[in-house]
């Protein structure tokens, strides 16, 4: 009895603490954000009254949760969907959607800056309106939001609850609203899709300043003149280049010797050169960082760069390293679901340590991408509702997941890197096509970059690829389809590509591998056939 009382008290404390944590603040509270709120967390929403057990309770209404709920309901299941903040999760509200909105504005700014290269004379007094660019982003985000709206999912027959979802026992979840009211839901299966949030690294003094993360970056209405960014991963790099193109003086702090350290080193080097042209101050090999406020309300970032101490004063500081799983308030101990710092523990079927509870998306996956969460959700639907014992189950490890970083140029990747192949003991052949030899890239002025494809040694089976190009994120899909469909690189050469397109680079790689098949014997046979037909 004592253990039960302590567990309940602990759970209530966890709920109370989680309710204090506001993941997203919709500021400025203009008409666009008011419309967004009305769509993805309506202020007047009334939670349903549950009258029977649900086949599936989904906690978290980001991509993984939305796809799971919609798919399960579409197949006839009774589904409850619980969200404590904004439906659409990070992707819609503070991730993919708003970031790509301002990246597009930054690319236009760069195009105008470089217009003279194309014979377009631009007046020297052209200015950039940061506030208007951010307003455009908020307007377009709101335009997209009905896809993730509470009403849309309610119209699908899904019971949508707003509040903190908390496990009570093996078949019970409570939903606690901010006014303290509680709904009790019974379930047969459950899915945890609560995602992850930005986490702060242990930098001395960081808690003494008001720093930005992706959760409040997109609320800015004024362009910082001097902008510090810690971390050169995808978020840090995308924002460093964008704000430099907007006109900020950007200082990008990275502890390693180059940016985008998880990507192909050759691809990262191409992007790094462009950053230098865009005016980003690359504070590489920065260690022993510390932060403190200045007397005039700015932020001083101290670091030891290449052994030399330095102080950099900035107006705003973006922290773009680290993610923490959203497990607070769930009371996972009550249902024997194991988790640690990276997130919830799942098997290859996306089952947690409680076989009746599954997880999908950033809460449990090393692939923290919207499209990965989407396809993991499809696996969960199959395994939770339709698999019988070991039969009919799908595996997350079977997914071939591409990704892209939306710098200019972009970097896109799928499958193995060279070091992955080495670690796995897979011998590979590598084929590279430079865009300097692709006509469309030359004409577009985008001829820095390449397509690199790895195949199993002596075969045309593709095991990995990297593309660095202005539209690499679009181009990588052709290779992903080939890998998924088990189409070899040599077969791509037989697919006619329109001329001139940058995708011709991939076809040219198919030509490369086909030329390697021309053995001395085959060459002799072809020469013989030629002489028989047309003479010596």
Say which CATH number the domain at 175 has: 3.50.50.60
For residue 340, pLDDT over 60 is answered with: yes
Q: Where is average pLDDT lowest: 232-241, 269-278, 510-519?
A: 510-519
For residue 508, pLDDT over 80 is answered with: yes
For residue 356, pLDDT over 90 is answered with: yes
Residue 343 inside a domain? The answer is yes
Report d(CA 150, CA 412) in Å as an integer.
33
CB atoms within 10 A of CB 529: 10
Query: pLDDT grade, residue 25 (50/70/90)?
Result: confident
Query: pLDDT grade, residue 12 (50/70/90)?
Result: low
pLDDT at position 15, please?
56
Query: pLDDT grade, residue 10 (50/70/90)?
Result: low
CA dihedral over 193, 320, 144, 467, signed as positive or negative: negative
pLDDT at position 278, please?
98
Question: Tokens for 108?
Answer: 């236009």
For residue 254, pLDDT over 80 is answered with: yes
Residue 534 inside a domain? The answer is no
CATH of the domain at 513: 3.30.390.30
Q: Is residue 181 domain-shared with residue 276, that is, in the same domain?
A: no
Q: Is residue 24 domain-shared with residue 130, that is, in the same domain?
A: no
For residue 2, pLDDT over 60 is answered with: no
Q: Is residue 153 domain-shared with residue 39, that is, in the same domain?
A: yes
For residue 17, pLDDT over 70 is answered with: no
Burial degree of 460 (CB within 10 A; 0-12, 13-18, 19+) = buried
Residue 393 inside a domain? The answer is no
pLDDT in tens, 319-334: 999 899 999 999 999 9
Report d(CA 395, CA 399) in Å as an integer.
8
Rounded mean pLDDT of 337-353?
A: 97
Residue in the block written with tokens 């790094």 = 272
CA 37 to chain centre: 23
Residue 35 inside a domain? The answer is yes
Q: Is residue 165 domain-shared with residue 39, that is, in the same domain?
A: yes
Q: Is residue 169 domain-shared with residue 32, that is, in the same domain?
A: yes
pLDDT at position 390, please?
81
Q: Is residue 10 domain-shared with residue 52, that is, in the same domain?
A: yes
Q: Could you tell me the residue range of the domain that residue 116 belongs to?
A: 96-137
Residues of the binding site for NAD(+): 231-238, 254, 322
Rounded mean pLDDT of 257-268?
A: 97
The percentage of the chain sitting over the pLDDT mark of 70, rounded to a whole number, equals: 93
Given 277, 304, 321, which residue is the final one in a domain? Answer: 321
For residue 4, pLDDT over 50 is answered with: no
pLDDT at position 6, please?
38
Backbone angles phi, psi at 189, to 5 degrees: -135, 155
Residues of the binding site: 100, 165, 231-238, 254, 322, 362
Given 388, 417, 440, which residue is the final one in a domain? Answer: 388
pLDDT at position 8, please?
45
Contact of 455 with 483, CB cutoff 8 Å: no
Residue 529 inside a domain? The answer is no
For residue 455, pLDDT over 60 is answered with: yes
Residues of the binding site for FAD: 100, 165, 362
CA distances from 283 to 202, 246, 276, 290 (A): 19, 20, 11, 14
pLDDT in tens, 185-215: 999 999 999 999 999 999 999 999 999 999 9
For residue 239, pLDDT over 80 is answered with: yes
Residue 47's SS3 state is coil
Q: Is residue 471 domain-shared with residue 458, that is, in the same domain?
A: yes
Q: Is residue 129 domain-shared with residue 166, that is, in the same domain?
A: no
What mean pLDDT value characterizes the chain?
Answer: 94
For residue 523, pLDDT over 80 is answered with: no
Q: Is residue 349 domain-shared with residue 264, that is, in the same domain?
A: no
The percentage of the chain sitting over the pLDDT mark of 90, rounded to a whole number, equals: 89
Question: Tokens for 512?
Answer: 């490369």
pLDDT in tens, 63-120: 999 999 999 999 999 999 999 999 999 999 999 999 999 999 999 999 999 999 999 9
Residue 528 inside a domain? The answer is no
Q: Is residue 306 domain-shared with residue 339, that is, in the same domain?
A: no
Left if phi > 0, otherwise alpha if psi is -120 to 50, otherwise beta: which for 25?
beta
Q: Tell me how many domains the chain contains.
A: 4
pLDDT at position 7, please?
42
Q: Is residue 424 domain-shared with residue 483, that is, in the same domain?
A: yes
Contact of 176 with 164, CB cutoff 8 Å: yes
pLDDT at position 1, please?
29
pLDDT at position 292, please?
98
Report d(CA 228, CA 283) in Å as an integer.
10
Rounded mean pLDDT of 223-229?
A: 98
Q: Where is average pLDDT lowest: 7-21, 45-59, 239-253?
A: 7-21
pLDDT at position 5, please?
34
Residue 531 inside a domain? The answer is no
Q: Is residue 335 domain-shared with residue 300, that is, in the same domain?
A: no
Contact of 83 with 160, CB cutoff 8 Å: yes
For residue 531, pLDDT over 50 is answered with: yes
Residue 316 inside a domain? The answer is yes
pLDDT at position 517, please?
75
């Amino acid at each position: 009895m004592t253990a039960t009382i302590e567990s309940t008290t602990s759970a209530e404390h966890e709920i109370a603490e989680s309710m204090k944590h506001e993941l997203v603040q919709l500021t400025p509270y203009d008409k666009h954000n008011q419309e967004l709120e009305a769509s993805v967390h309506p202020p007047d929403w009334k939670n349903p009254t549950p009258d029977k057990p649900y086949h599936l309770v989904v906690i978290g209404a980001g991509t993984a949760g939305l796809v799971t709920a919609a798919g399960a309901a579409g197949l006839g299941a009774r589904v409850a969907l619980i969200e404590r903040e904004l439906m659409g999760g990070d992707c819609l509200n503070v991730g993919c959607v708003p970031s790509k909105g301002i990246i597009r504005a930054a690319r236009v700014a760069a195009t105008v800056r470089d217009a003279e290269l194309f014979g377009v004379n631009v007046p020297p007094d052209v200015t950039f309106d940061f506030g208007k660019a951010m307003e455009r982003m908020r307007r377009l985000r709101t335009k997209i939001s009905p896809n993730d709206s509470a009403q849309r999912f309610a119209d699908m027959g899904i019971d949508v609850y707003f509040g903190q979802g908390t496990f009570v026992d093996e078949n019970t979840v409570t939903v606690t609203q901010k006014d303290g009211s509680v709904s009790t839901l019974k379930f047969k299966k459950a899915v945890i899709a609560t995602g992850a949030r930005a986490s702060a690294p242990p930098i001395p003094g960081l808690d003494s300043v008001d720093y930005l993360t992706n959760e409040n970056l997109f609320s800015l209405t004024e362009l910082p003149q001097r902008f510090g960014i810690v971390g050169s991963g995808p978020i840090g790099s995308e924002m460093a280049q964008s704000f430099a193109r907007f006109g900020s003086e950007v200082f990008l702090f990275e502890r390693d010797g180059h940016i985008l350290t998880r990507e192909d080193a050759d691809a990262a080097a191409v992007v790094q050169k462009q950053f230098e042209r865009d005016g980003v101050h690359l504070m590489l090999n920065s260690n022993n960082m510390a932060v403190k406020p200045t007397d005039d309300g700015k932020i001083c970032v101290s670091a030891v760069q290449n052994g030399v101490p330095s102080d950099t004063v900035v107006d705003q500081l973006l922290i773009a390293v680290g993610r923490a799983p959203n497990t607070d308030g769930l009371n996972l101990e009550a249902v024997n679901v194991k988790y640690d710092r990276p997130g919830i523990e799942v098997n290859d079927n996306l089952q947690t340590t409680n076989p009746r509870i599954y997880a999908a998306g950033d809460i449990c996956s090393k692939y923290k991408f919207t499209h990965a969460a989407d396809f993991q959700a499809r696996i969960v639907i199959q395994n939770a509702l339709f698999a019988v014992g070991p039969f009919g189950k799908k595996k997350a490890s079977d997914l071939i997941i591409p990704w892209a970083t939306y710098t200019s140029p972009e970097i896109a990747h799928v499958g193995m890197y060279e070091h992955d192949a080495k670690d796995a003991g897979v011998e590979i052949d590598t084929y590279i096509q430079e865009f300097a030899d692709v006509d469309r890239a030359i004409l577009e002025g985008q001829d820095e970059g390449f397509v690199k494809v790895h195949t199993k040694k002596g075969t045309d089976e593709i095991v990995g690829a990297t593309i660095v190009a202005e539209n690499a994120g679009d181009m990588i899909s052709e290779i992903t389809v080939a890998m998924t469909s088990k189409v070899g690189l040599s077969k791509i050469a037989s697919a006619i590509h329109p001329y001139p397109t940058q995708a011709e680079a991939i076809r040219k790689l198919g030509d490369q591998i086909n030329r390697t098949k021309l053995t001395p014997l085959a060459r002799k046979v072809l020469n013989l056939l030629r002489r028989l037909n047309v003479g010596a």
